[in-house]
Structure formats: structure tokens, C-alpha cells
């Protein structure tokens, strides 16, 4: 489902984590500027500005870094 903002991505990952019993946490101040780190269990990715739309390639890379299937998020 495109377009997706950083905030939308975080919401979907949190929902998936609740369904699967996986800890999801966001460290909004852990990155430079508007970037933050999103943890899904022990895996992590960097979320860019949460208000802006994510590019398709960036979104797929973030999903891969968290070890998720794109079908779970998109």
C-alpha cells in the first residue's frame, strides 16, 4: 500500500508486534535530525522523518532489516 509515511510504517510494525508478541520500540532521539531507530525484537532499522512519505526502495529495505515479510506490512 503506497504511499506510506514513516508514522504509518511504525503503526503497522507496532500492530504486527502486538499480534506476534514481539517487543517493538522507537527511539526517536537516537538518530540525526528527524531520524529515529525502530526496534522489532532484536532487529532494528532507521526511520526517516515520520511525517514524510517513504520511497518504495527505502520501505522495502526497512522491512527487510526488521526481518519481516512485505505482505505483513503492505
- Write down all domains in the chain, each with its CATH number in brackets: 6-68 (3.30.920)
Predicted pLDDT of residue 31: 67
Q: How far apart are CA 24 and CA 10, in angstroms?
A: 9
% of the chain beyond a pLDDT of 90:
74
Q: What is the pTM of this model?
A: 0.90
Q: Quick count: other Cβ atoms within 10 Å of Cβ 12? A: 17
Does 66 score more than 70 pLDDT? yes
Does residue 6 carry a pLDDT above 90? yes
Amino acid at each position: 500500500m503506497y504511499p506510506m509515511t514513516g508514522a504509518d510504517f511504525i503503526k503497522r510494525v507496532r500492530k504486527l508486534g502486538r499480534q506476534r508478541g514481539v517487543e517493538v520500540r522507537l527511539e526517536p532521539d537516537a538518530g540525526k535530525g528527524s531520524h529515529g531507530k525502530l526496534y522489532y525484537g532484536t532487529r532494528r532499522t532507521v526511520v526517516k522523518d515520520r511525517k514524510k512519505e517513504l520511497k518504495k526502495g527505502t520501505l522495502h529495505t526497512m522491512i527487510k532489516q526488521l526481518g519481516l515479510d512485505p505482505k505483513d506490512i503492505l
